[in-house]
């Protein structure tokens, strides 16, 4: 078993509070402020709509239980890369790492940065979105190049501000918002909604809003007492987000007529006008833009840890394992910054997100399936933490994730095929690098002989 310091940066420097902040910041982005508009088009029940977000949260918690068991068994930074290579084969781990190192984090960073630029105009009208997007990504990179302690303080401050602003919005919405005649109690009609296709399809998009519940596993090698603090960070972080998501959507529904929300992507801004009056849109826009700073910070922190760990394992990627004097993976941070900025320039990141959705779900599915596999094949292996509710919790996660992959294949076949192509490219690179390494080793041995 790899020790907790292996593959980490400054092992034992990150507290469970900071790890929890990473989970919260990585999860809460633009999604929760935009998804409801598409859900109310086919679902007109307050109870069913909130149930979507509760069910999505339950699935995320089930995933957190499973990831916590694996992270306690294999406490090395890099998430799925570490888990899949240990459970199945190094090639599978490389595919997951390849996705993360190339676009898995860079594309969401680019999307969040562009959204930051757009919403920041609520604070300073006329500000150039692209330049603001570049600015916030460079700021996050410079902060995290300054070291784990400095980056952690920066990240915690912005996450705390995000939580305060969202809570203020929720309280103000219930206290001062326009009151709508909507009930959140169950009724007979809810059975039809819950059993229908629109509920299942909406759940797919709800799960996208919950993505990031596993964020702390990417820095487990830096955590103090990871066997104890990693599960705590995943559970508390995910639980906080579940409460926020349910409360936010309740505010949107309680203050704004459904007909105004239907088909709209800027749900938060529309609801803000019903809470704060004419300035409401600008206020919510400011809340979203400032909240995105911590989201970008979280991904800037955790993404390069995958590339760094891959560099430690593979000679051809050794450059990415280099650490600065402040003990951070500087080359990996700069590489991810450049990729995210390139996507910002091309503005092709939304298309990238479409095709990596299947790949990321695929890796998560086999990671959780790995919990069951390890219980069967290695029952006596030390497990500092055991997934609560096993085997029900992993089966819940696997069932929903399998449905998501099925939905993507049926409704977005080209994007799913592109995801397969991306994973295949990772496999090709892995085996090519292995061949190159073997040839180099053979040449070296001949020279010695």
In the beta sheet, which residues pair with residue 14?
Answer: 223
pLDDT, mean of each 10-residue run, the chain (449 residues): 40 87 93 90 94 96 96 93 96 95 91 91 87 96 94 94 94 90 89 88 88 94 91 96 96 94 90 90 90 95 95 90 92 96 85 83 96 96 94 96 90 89 92 72 47
**∠ Cα 200 203 207 (to 5°):** 150
Whose CA is closest to 140, among 119, 118, 112, 99? 112
Give the whole-angstrom CA distance, residue 222 versus residue 116: 29
CA 131, 137, 142: angle at the middle one, nearest 5? 120
Distance CA 5, CA 281 (A): 46
* 424 phi and psi angles, rounded to 5 deg: -65, -40
Domain boundaries, the chain: 16-436
Task: Centre a 10 Å sphere on the Cβ of residue 172 and count the other Cβ atoms it contains.
Answer: 17
Residues 6+ apart with CB under 8 A from 229: 15, 16, 19, 223
**Which pLDDT score is estimated for 204?**
83
Closest CA to 370 of 160, 80, 16: 80
Instruction: Give me the residue label for tokens 């001062």.
Output: 176
Q: What is the pLDDT of residue 235?
A: 96
Is the CB of residue 70 less than 8 Å from the CB of residue 83?
yes
**Residues 364, 368: Cα–Cα separation, whole Å:** 6
CATH 1.10.1060.10 fits 16-436, yes or no: no
Query: Please, are residues 349 and 110 in contact by the beta-carbon 8 Å criterion?
Result: yes
Q: Is 190 left (phi over 0), alpha (psi -120 to 50) or beta?
A: alpha
pLDDT score recorded for residue 6 = 41
Report the pLDDT value the prediction gives residue 347, as an integer from 0 to 100.
78
CA distance 2 to 382: 12
């Amino acid at each position: 078993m790899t020790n907790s310091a292996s593959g980490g940066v400054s092992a034992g420097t990150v507290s469970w509070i900071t790890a929890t902040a990473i989970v919260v910041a990585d999860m809460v982005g633009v999604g929760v402020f935009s998804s409801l508009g598409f859900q109310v088009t086919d679902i007109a029940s307050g109870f069913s709509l909130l149930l979507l977000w509760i069910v999505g949260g339950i699935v995320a918690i089930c995933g957190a239980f499973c990831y916590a068991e694996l992270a306690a068994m294999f406490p090395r930074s890099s998430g799925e890369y570490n888990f899949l290579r240990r459970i199945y084969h190094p090639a599978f781990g490389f595919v997951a790492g390849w996705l993360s190192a190339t676009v898995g984090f860079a594309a969401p960073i680019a999307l969040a940065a562009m959204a930051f630029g757009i919403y920041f105009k609520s604070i300073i009208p006329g500000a150039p979105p692209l330049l603001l997007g570049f600015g916030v990504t460079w700021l996050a990179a410079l902060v995290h190049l300054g070291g784990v302690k400095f980056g952690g303080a920066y990240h915690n401050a912005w996450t705390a501000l995000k939580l305060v602003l969202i809570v203020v919005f929720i309280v103000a919405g219930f206290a001062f918002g326009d009151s709508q005649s909507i009930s959140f109690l169950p009724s007979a009609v809810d059975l039809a909604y819950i059993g229908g296709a629109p509920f299942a399809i909406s759940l797919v998009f709800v799960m996208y809003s919950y993505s990031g519940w596993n964020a702390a596993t990417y820095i487990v090698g830096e955590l103090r007492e990871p066997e104890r603090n990693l599960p705590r960070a995943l559970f508390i972080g995910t639980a906080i987000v579940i409460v926020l998501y349910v409360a936010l959507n309740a505010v949107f529904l309680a203050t704004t007529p459904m007909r105004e929300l239907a088909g709209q992507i800027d749900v938060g801004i529309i609801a803000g006008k019903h809470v704060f009056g004419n300035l409401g849109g600008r206020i919510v826009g400011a809340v979203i833009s400032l909240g995105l700073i911590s989201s970008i910070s979280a991904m800037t922190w955790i993404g390069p840890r995958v590339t760094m760990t891959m560099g430690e394992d593979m000679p051809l990627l050794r450059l990415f394992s280099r650490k600065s004097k402040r003990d951070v993976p500087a080359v990996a941070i700069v590489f991810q910054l450049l990729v995210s900025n390139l996507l910002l320039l091309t503005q092709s990141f939304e298309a990238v997100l479409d095709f990596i959705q299947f790949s990321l779900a695929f890796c998560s599915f086999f990671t959780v399936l790995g919990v069951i596999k390890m219980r069967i094949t290695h029952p006596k292996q030390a497990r500092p933490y055991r997934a609560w509710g096993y085997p029900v919790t992993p089966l819940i996660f696997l069932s929903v994730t399998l449905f998501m992959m099925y939905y993507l294949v049926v409704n977005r076949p080209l994007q799913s095929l592109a995801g397969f192509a991306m994973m295949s490219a990772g496999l090709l690179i892995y085996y090519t690098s292995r061949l190159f390494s073997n040839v180099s080793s053979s040449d070296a041995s001949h020279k010695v002989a």
